[in-house]
Amino acid sequence: MNTPEDLSLILDGLNGYSGYGDLKTSLQNAFGGFNLNGSTIPLPANSDNYGYTFFTRPGLNLSQDNCLAERRLMNIINQPSYSVKSAVRALLDPIAQNGWWHLAGGEESTFLKVLESSMIDAGNPFMPILSNTLLSLSGGPDQVASVISSAPGVQKEVSIMLDGALRDYSNYSATANFRNVAGDPISAIFNVWNVYGLNMRNGTMVPYFDNISNHTLDYTTRIYRFTTDPSRTYIREMACTGYSFPWMSPMSHVFNFNSDTPQTEENAQISITFECSGVIYNDPIIAYWFNDLVTMYDSNFALVDPLDPSKGIVGKDNWIKLATPTDKNNNNLNKRCRPYINVQTMELEWYVPRNEYVKPL
């Protein structure tokens, strides 16, 4: 009786004699030689997964003094740690949530009160609520080179060559559509974000001293996009913006009225336009930037040797890597993990705190 392995060999042989080629080496054959008989090469269609989108947290100064300078932000201070308003404030002001504050000489100051939020992981540099509710995101501009040509010769001959910048530092707009959820947190996030940015521009609010001294635009985010293989394990393509910021506050839809619908449907989806400066495609440095940001937020979460992931994580006894699909599909672990890119294999690894790890059944 033929085993499955025997049947696989027979099928590969039959396909080879038929002119289609060995199924296991179809891609190699497509690269290696020409299709002489015009038969269809049995190459599988690209089935990459849409992957992941990450929005980095900005560094707004939502201190009490700043919020008291703007009536629309007074309602986010002195809120319970479990409230949405407290979560929005902590999400957009990681400096206060983590207690990062330095004087001009580098000496740490302790007078800044740390924000409390039971919903926001202080060591996470990204905004999961935006990633988890994102429905669509328009990509950046294509990398297009211009062409220069010589003056026509005696026989009207013209020489042509490529010209233009290798990297795109231009500005462009990207539209993100989010699925809104109970409590309207998406509108709250972008309303606070926009109000702060405009007040900072007008001088009503001031950034943290470090951002002033470093000439940092504190209301910006970087958008990372990773497409993956079908298993959502390995990164196939990657891109990121230079920096971005939302330039609109989605509040007008809240006041739309239609008596035919007892529940408002106007804000089921929220569309936000980000203005972006620059875009980078498939540059390996994107992975290093990503990892640097992850480890900057939590010094206890870093590879001992970035070039040798086998040496593990600093304080690795406190972290467990999700190594199997069973782990990744375990609802007890979902949404509690930190991402990290293995720069050797381009695996997007996920780590969970050991004290929160529940072994899958």
pLDDT digits (tens, 9 = 90+) for 207-220: 988 888 888 899 99
Task: Give domain status of residue 180, yes or no.
Answer: yes
Task: Give domain status of residue 182, yes or no.
Answer: yes
pLDDT score for 111 = 45
pLDDT at 346 over 50: yes
Task: Give domain status of residue 77, yes or no.
Answer: no
Q: Which of 255, 278, 298 marks a domain boundary? A: 298
Q: Are 145 and 292 contained in the same domain?
A: yes
Q: Which domain holds residue 266?
A: 49-59+125-298
Whether the model pTM is above 0.85: no
The three-state secondary structure class of 188 is: helix
pLDDT at 10 over 70: no
Q: Are 16 and 55 contained in the same domain?
A: no
- Residue 227 burial by Cβ neighbours in a 10 Å radius (0-12, 13-18, 19+): middle
pLDDT over 90, % of the chain? 32
pLDDT tier at 326 (50, 70, 90 boundaries)?
A: low
- How many Å apart are CA 173 and CA 139, to the nearest integer? 9
pLDDT score for 272 = 92
Distances in Å between the alpha carbon of 155 and those of 148, 158, 172, 201, 326? 19, 9, 42, 59, 70
Total domains in the fold of the chain: 2
Q: What is the pLDDT of residues 21-72, one digit of tens each?
A: 555 566 677 777 777 666 666 666 777 788 999 999 999 999 888 999 989 9
Q: Are 216 and 247 contained in the same domain?
A: yes
Task: Give domain status of residue 184, yes or no.
Answer: yes
Q: Are 283 and 146 contained in the same domain?
A: yes
Q: Are 38 and 132 contained in the same domain?
A: no
Q: Determine phi and psi for 169, rounding to 5 degrees.
A: -110, 15
Q: Are 34 and 164 contained in the same domain?
A: no
Report residue 108 as tokens. Answer: 């740490």
Q: Are 30 and 53 contained in the same domain?
A: no
pLDDT at 162 over 60: yes
Task: Give domain status of residue 355, yes or no.
Answer: no
Task: Give domain status of residue 2, yes or no.
Answer: no
pLDDT at 102 over 70: no
Q: What is the pLDDT of residues 254-288, one digit of tens each?
A: 666 666 666 666 667 889 999 999 999 999 999 99
- How many Å apart are CA 316 and CA 303, to the nearest integer? 9
| Average pLDDT rounded to a whole number, residues 307-321 | 67
| Average pLDDT rounded to a whole number, residues 81-86 | 89
Distances in Å between the alpha carbon of 77 and those of 39, 80, 121, 278, 352? 69, 9, 19, 35, 31
Lowest-pLDDT choice from 93-102, 168-177, 191-200, 291-300 = 93-102
Q: Are 163 and 275 contained in the same domain?
A: yes
| Average pLDDT rounded to a whole number, residues 170-176 | 92
- How many Å apart are CA 229 and CA 200, to the nearest integer? 42
Q: Are 130 and 19 contained in the same domain?
A: no
Lowest-pLDDT choice from 182-186, 209-213, 316-320, 352-356 = 316-320
